[in-house]
Amino acid sequence: VIEVEGVSREYLVGSERVQALREVSFQVAAGQFVAIVGPSGSGKSTLLGILGCMDRPSRGRYRLAGQEVCLLDRDRLAGLRNRQIGFVFQSFHLLPQHTALENVQLPLVYAGTPARERRERALDLLARFGLEQWAAHRPSQLSGGQRQRVAIARALVARPSLLLADEPTGNLDRRTGGELLDLIASLNASGLTALVVTHDPEIAGRAQRILSIRDGELREGEI
């Protein structure tokens, strides 16, 4: 369902070029649970950003379900992003002036879900993450790990077919992280395709497949 061909991404900083990704090629079948590992600065977030259409490669192609989705017109791309792809950012990117409950509902607002249903689904998901008592808190009134879980709940509320998660347990204790991993694994068992960038060996151990990135280059398996 994911086809990446010869993707490179170069950044310009002043007069310097940074090669963040070099000729990355791989495929992911629908329903796979893939862990993406590699040293800090190796290009993992850059790759995930391209897969989520937040960013464009400097070269190469990316297809999702056979289509170069990032080249769709604005409206179709927005629909895709909100309904089919759930994205968890490494730094969460929650809306600071909105409560946890409002933040989690956001994809359903875009999907046109009726107010009562989207509120119920958001509350239900917050409860699954042990966050129901913090539903009325804004991000500045939450702990780091609580913000992280709100970001994950937001990514899952529209029941996407693809989850792209960037280091989703970085701020979680082992037990809370383990519960999250169980949830991802069970959603994967019911058909969710999941690509999880992680430094956590427990997540890497549970994935069906590991991709390693080092210095912008991707290899199959652990390096």
Ligand X SMILES: Nc1ncnc2c1ncn2[C@@H]1O[C@H](COP(=O)(O)OP(=O)(O)OP(=O)(O)O)[C@@H](O)[C@H]1O
Q: What is the binding site for a second copy (CB under 8 A)? A: 11, 13-14, 16, 18, 37-41, 44-45, 90-91, 134, 136-137, 141-146, 148-149, 166-167, 170-177, 199, 201
The 21-60 contact track toward Mg ion, x by CB under 5 A, reads ------------------------x---------------
What DSSP designation does 162 have? E
Does residue 144 interact with Mg ion by CB under 5 A?
yes
Q: Cα–Cα–Cα angle for 209, 213, 219, nearest 5°?
A: 60
Within 13 A of 68's CA, how many CA atoms are on the CB side? 8
What DSSP designation does 58 have? S
We find the least distance from the C-beta atom of residue 140 to ligand X, in angstroms, to be 6
Q: Considering beta carbons, is residue 27 or 143 the nearer one to a second copy?
A: 143
We find the least distance from the C-beta atom of residue 28 to ligand X, in angstroms, to be 18
The amino acid that residue 153 corresponds to is A
We find the least distance from the C-beta atom of residue 70 to a second copy, in angstroms, to be 21
What DSSP designation does 89 have? -
Q: Considering beta carbons, is residue 100 or 158 the nearer one to Mg ion?
A: 100
C-alpha closest to that of 135 among 151, 123, 121: 123
Say what the alpha-carbon torsion angle 166, 34, 169, 197 is, to the nearest 10 degrees: -30
209 binds, among Mg ion, a second copy, ligand X, none (CB under 5 to 8 A by kind): none
